[in-house]
Structure 1
Amino acid sequence: MASSTVPSPQPAQPHRPPRPNLVFRELRGSRSPAEFAAAVRRAAREIGERVSCDARYVHRVETGEIRCPNYAYERVFLHMFPGRTLTDLGFLPRSAVRGRRARYDDGATPPPDTADPANATSETSGAYEPYDTYDTSDPYDTHDNEESDVLRRAFMTGGGATVAAASLGPLAFAADASAAQRTVRRAGTGEASALEEAVRRIRLLDDRHGADGLYRRAAAPLRAAYALLDAGTTRQRTADRLYSGAGELAISVGWLAHDSGRFDDARSHYAEALATARMAGDPGLEAHAFCNTAFLARDAGRPREAVRAAQAAQRVARPLGSARLMSLLALREAGGWAGLADRAGCEQALARAQAYFDRGPSDADPEWMTFYGEAELEGLEAQCWSTLGDWPRAARHARRAAELQDPHFTRNIALYTAELADDLARGGRPDEAAVAGMRVLDLLTDVQSSRVQTMLAGTARVLLPHRRASCVSAFLDRHASLSAPGSRSLSA
């Protein structure tokens, strides 16, 4: 019998798990991953860098998945910890990994802007660290790099823009998303990472600029996300990441619709995320979808639905072990009770929210909750008291919320200050309300949020009888001029 000419298979390379970065974990100290990520972003702004650091990135560093950061992150980390080198921070020396282009399950390599150190001057595509390490043990989870690049262009932003619409421009590649749906055969970790990065970028842009300029541009990556689910993958872990990423993206796009007053669109996106969560058996995603559904129901004048959705979210979230998540969900329930004029129910839910919050952050907190701190707690409580008509108490909490808010969250500062202006106006303090309203108008040069604009318009109507006061008159005149047709500042 002739011997076979088929070569014998090569022995599989043993999988070596990444070595945890214990030094970096020690440097984080008692701060949660989300809190540490916020500190990294603040440090980046101090030196003029742009990084989209979040809790997931911190986790990837601490578990050793990122062996050496890209150049933008290196500059930020060395700024945060002066006098130390990368190896002092627990990373491998760059010389030990230089020249090894990052490999993904799909066999692709990083885009040129991050693979070439000469071009890596800013954090423009955070998911593609040039020295990341991925598991490459599955030889079947591969497809052409060209196909992967189509999807990456559909998801990733170019960064460097000063207005949200320009920053999100590359996300609006509807043609690329359509091409991806036609050509992709298998989705790998490169696509999962790009999808997760799209969610982070949208959230960061919303924090800074509000939703109105982002919503329509975010539709294309959402279509591409669900095209990825249809494409399938050979790995369950990658499939789980894709489902989770698509669901989180649906929630983010839903929130953009919600904040820009498109309630029916928001409801549809949240329902899509909820269905995705249940198909994937993802309780964290399900809790998030119910959380936003409760918030939308409250804003849309369906307070009983808000209560039921918030209670459903708490049932799903309880086993997840995040006290901060439970705190936020209790606040969502409190908002529903306030809408029902049930003061006792509202106070009980607020007490639970505070008790959960006082337990502090933990590693179990979802990464999407980076916005939730003491300022948001105060702001949501202010909204409850405002709904119940307790204007002095509402104003006290709204003022504290605006004072505590991290400057990174420009839209939230505008929101809390608009809440303060309205509570002061309705509480019989027109001069103070006008001063707060002026601060909101200053912020609206950078923020586009229909919700904030609607609140400010209501405040202006309440202040009309007090026009004779000079500061009130100045506020009303400026608000009217900016609200006029053709005005860029308050137009959607």
Structure 2
Amino acid sequence: MTSSTVTSSQPDRPPRPNLAFRRLRGQRSPAEFAALVRRAAREIGERVSCDARYIGRVEAGEIRCPNYAYERVFLHMFPGRTLTDLGFASRSSVRGRAARPAAAAPRGAAAGEGPGEPPGAVEPYDPRDHWQNDPLNHEESDVLRRAFMTGGGATVAAATLAPLGLAPSAAAADRLPPRAGVPEAMALEEAVRRIRLLDDRHGADGLYRRAAAPLRAAYALLDAGATRQTTADRLHSGAGELAISVGWLAHDSGRFDDARSHYAEALATARMTGDAGLEAHAFCNTAFLARDAGRPREAVRAAQAAQRAARPLGSARLLSLLALREAGGWAGLADRTGCERALVRAQALFERGRADADPEWMSFYGEAELAGLEAQCWSTLGDWRRASRQARRAAQAQDPHFTRNIALYTAELADDLAREGRPDEAAEAGLRVLALLDQVQSSRIQSMLAGTARVLLPHRRASGVAEFLDRHAAYKGPHPVGAGGTV
């Protein structure tokens, strides 16, 4: 069935699912298919921000026509087919003007919706894809990247989040619509997705304060009410997920009190609406925060509460992650038996594979994250040999898309090797992390490197250690905020 154009006179008309695209995915999970999209993009020199959430939005019909970067990738993946064959509306029918060939993709300006089009009818041109893909614009790309990583993160985040239709400041919240509809719900969901993608690449420090503004706007939308109950449900779910995302940015940048407040807000939203998935997610992050904040017993209890909420959802991968959160709590209590039991349960659940019931926010959870979280448990228990082995496995298995996690796992590896008594290998890993810090801002990672440097100080004469210590001392990045600690 062909989708018709959604106009502003039909604000609450739901999008029609893209069944053709869903058939092309076949038996693969959304996350697995997203990985294929990213691999295909690299084959033709593109770099797209594709994850399970994006695939879900395409299949739900929320993206009726992809941006030009995605168009080139999809046509490369399925040669001989047109956008219409892939279940998308033609660009001309959606935009209300003549279509341009893919080669004429806009350069230097966003290709937003045409007049009267709601957000999502045509996928907005992603400025991150523009910086990364344009072979004629390397200089501008580098300038923008440096601006983001040297304190201009708020500027870049504003450029990324402002087109979403959410208020970029508290003052602008007064201009929100009197009652929210589908466009506002879609904008909120897109805000969550973009914040997560930016965090995957760059870390939390440059994003946290700017991301709080869309969160205020989201709760203002909830207060205003929605035109339909289905829209209200989407708004509550989106606001809760956004609260968790903003909480994570606070968590990763060492602002533990702020993170705790945001997670509690998400949990309250979940309880009010009976959203078991959101409740499990909020408890999951609460457990992680409690462990990092030195409250391991609370971490165990929050992880167990998350598992109770998650059991009816049918996602073995979600239960696997929650078992790892529980294992981290047991490790913090120095309960090796409890930790090992939870790790065994996590591995067994992970091996059941992916399922359609897996939440979209779990696109980061794969072999690398499983190994990384296990490494953290062994590190907490003081088993540095096992910790370093798992940390190395995590760093090697991580998808290149998750730059922050590569830096995180490598920092974990450096610290474990240093404490295991292998200073030369620790220094080598530490240098790899320092090389990534022009792309990633995370107080957590900086705190870990600082701890590694302290452990390596007595070993300056070992191969590579002096170079690492000197480069670490010369690093001029932002200082950690709060007590990050080894994660």
* Same fold, TM-score > 0.5, yes or no: yes
Q: CA 1:260 to 1:489, structure 2 compared with 1: closer, same or farther past 3 Å?
A: closer
Determine the C-alpha separation between the residues in 1 that align with 2:81 and 2:126. Answer: 31
1:294 paired to 2:294: no
1:439 paired to 2:432: yes
Alignment of 1:48-447 (within 5 A): 49=46, 51-64=48-61, 66-94=63-91, 99=96, 119=106, 128-131=119-122, 159=128, 160=131, 161-162=144-145, 163=148, 165=153, 166-170=155-159, 171=161, 176-181=169-174, 184-447=177-440
Deviation at 1:379, TM superposition (A): 0.1
The amino acid of 2:37's aligned partner reads V
Determine the C-alpha separation between the residues in 1 that align with 2:201 and 2:274. Answer: 33
Determine the C-alpha separation between the residues in 1 that align with 2:441 and 2:284. Answer: 23
Structure number with higher relative contact order (C-alpha < 8 Å, ≥ 6 residues apart)? 2
Q: CA 1:411 to 1:57, structure 2 compared with 1: closer, same or farther past 3 Å?
A: closer
Determine the C-alpha separation between the residues in 1 that align with 2:277 and 2:326. Answer: 18
Structure 2 length normalisation: TM-score?
Answer: 0.83
Deviation at 1:301, TM superposition (A): 0.5
Deviation at 1:45, TM superposition (A): 5.2
Q: Is the 8 A contact 1:33 1:54 kept in 2?
A: yes
Which deviates further from its counterpart, 83-92 or 251-260? 83-92
The amino acid of 1:191's aligned partner reads E
Q: CA 1:297 to 1:18, structure 2 compared with 1: closer, same or farther past 3 Å?
A: closer
Deviation at 1:302, TM superposition (A): 0.4
Q: Does the residue aligned with 2:355 lie in a helix, a strand or coil?
A: coil
Determine the C-alpha separation between the residues in 2 that align with 1:17 and 1:157. Answer: 24
Determine the C-alpha separation between the residues in 2 that align with 1:88 and 1:232. Answer: 38
Deviation at 1:48, TM superposition (A): 5.5
Q: Name 1:488's counterpart in structure 2.
A: 477
Q: Is the 8 A contact 1:247 1:272 kept in 2?
A: yes
Alignment of 1:450-489 (within 5 A): 450-482=443-475, 487-488=476-477
Deviation at 1:480, TM superposition (A): 1.0
Q: Does the residue aligned with 1:83 lie in a helix, a strand or coil?
A: coil
Deviation at 1:453, TM superposition (A): 0.8
Q: Is the 8 A contact 1:207 1:409 kept in 2?
A: yes
**Once the two structures are superposed, what CA deviation does each residue of 1:276-315 show, in whole Å capped at 9, x if it has no partner?**
1111211111110000000000000100000000000000
Determine the C-alpha separation between the residues in 2 that align with 1:437 and 1:491. Answer: 17
Q: Does the residue aligned with 1:89 lie in a helix, a strand or coil?
A: coil
Determine the C-alpha separation between the residues in 1 that align with 2:31 and 2:464. Answer: 40
**Once the two structures are superposed, what CA deviation does each residue of 1:33-78 show, in whole Å capped at 9, x if it has no partner?**
1222233244445556564433343234334554443433222211
Q: May I ask how many residue pairs the two structures share in their alignment?
A: 439
Q: Is the 8 A contact 2:14 2:182 kept in 1?
A: no
Deviation at 1:81, TM superposition (A): 2.4
Q: Name 2:484's counterpart in structure 1.
A: none
Deviation at 1:437, TM superposition (A): 0.7
Determine the C-alpha separation between the residues in 2 that align with 1:25 and 1:201. Answer: 23
Q: CA 1:174 to 1:29, structure 2 compared with 1: closer, same or farther past 3 Å?
A: closer
Q: Is the 8 A contact 1:38 1:54 kept in 2?
A: yes
Q: Is the 8 A contact 1:445 1:489 kept in 2?
A: no
The amino acid of 1:406's aligned partner reads D
The amino acid of 1:288's aligned partner reads H
Unaligned regions of 5+ residues in structure 2, if any?
A: 1-9, 99-103, 132-143, 482-487
Q: Name 1:148's counterpart in structure 2.
A: none
Q: CA 1:362 to 1:193, structure 2 compared with 1: closer, same or farther past 3 Å?
A: same
Determine the C-alpha separation between the residues in 2 that align with 1:464 and 1:120. Answer: 49
Deviation at 1:222, TM superposition (A): 1.1
Determine the C-alpha separation between the residues in 2 that align with 1:257 and 1:24. Answer: 36
Q: Name 2:134's counterpart in structure 1.
A: none
Unaligned regions of 5+ residues in structure 1, if any?
A: 1-12, 102-116, 133-151
Q: CA 1:463 to 1:67, structure 2 compared with 1: closer, same or farther past 3 Å?
A: closer
Deviation at 1:98, TM superposition (A): 5.7
The amino acid of 2:205's aligned partner reads D
Q: Is the 8 A contact 2:94 2:121 kept in 1?
A: no
Determine the C-alpha separation between the residues in 1 that align with 2:109 and 2:47. Answer: 6
The amino acid of 1:169's aligned partner reads A
Q: CA 1:50 to 1:220, structure 2 compared with 1: closer, same or farther past 3 Å?
A: farther
Q: Does the residue aligned with 1:317 lie in a helix, a strand or coil?
A: helix
Deviation at 1:274, TM superposition (A): 0.6
The amino acid of 1:39's aligned partner reads L
Determine the C-alpha separation between the residues in 2 that align with 1:20 and 1:386. Answer: 46
Q: Is the 8 A contact 1:52 1:200 kept in 2?
A: no
Output the aligned Cα RMSD.
3.0
1:26 paired to 2:23: yes
Deviation at 1:458, TM superposition (A): 0.8
Identical amino acids, percent of aligned pairs: 79
The amino acid of 2:367's aligned partner reads E
Q: CA 1:168 to 1:291, structure 2 compared with 1: closer, same or farther past 3 Å?
A: same
The amino acid of 2:119's aligned partner reads Y
The amino acid of 2:59's aligned partner reads E
Q: CA 1:458 to 1:226, structure 2 compared with 1: closer, same or farther past 3 Å?
A: same
**Once the two structures are superposed, what CA deviation does each residue of 1:113-158 show, in whole Å capped at 9, x if it has no partner?**
xxxx9758888779934458xxxxxxxxxxxxxxxxxxx9xxx985
The amino acid of 1:263's aligned partner reads F
Q: Is the 8 A contact 1:72 1:121 kept in 2?
A: no
Q: Name 1:138's counterpart in structure 2.
A: none
Determine the C-alpha separation between the residues in 2 that align with 1:437 and 1:262. Answer: 25
Determine the C-alpha separation between the residues in 2 that align with 1:93 and 1:375. Answer: 39
The amino acid of 1:391's aligned partner reads W
Q: Is the 8 A contact 1:444 1:490 kept in 2?
A: no
Q: Is the 8 A contact 1:157 1:168 kept in 2?
A: no
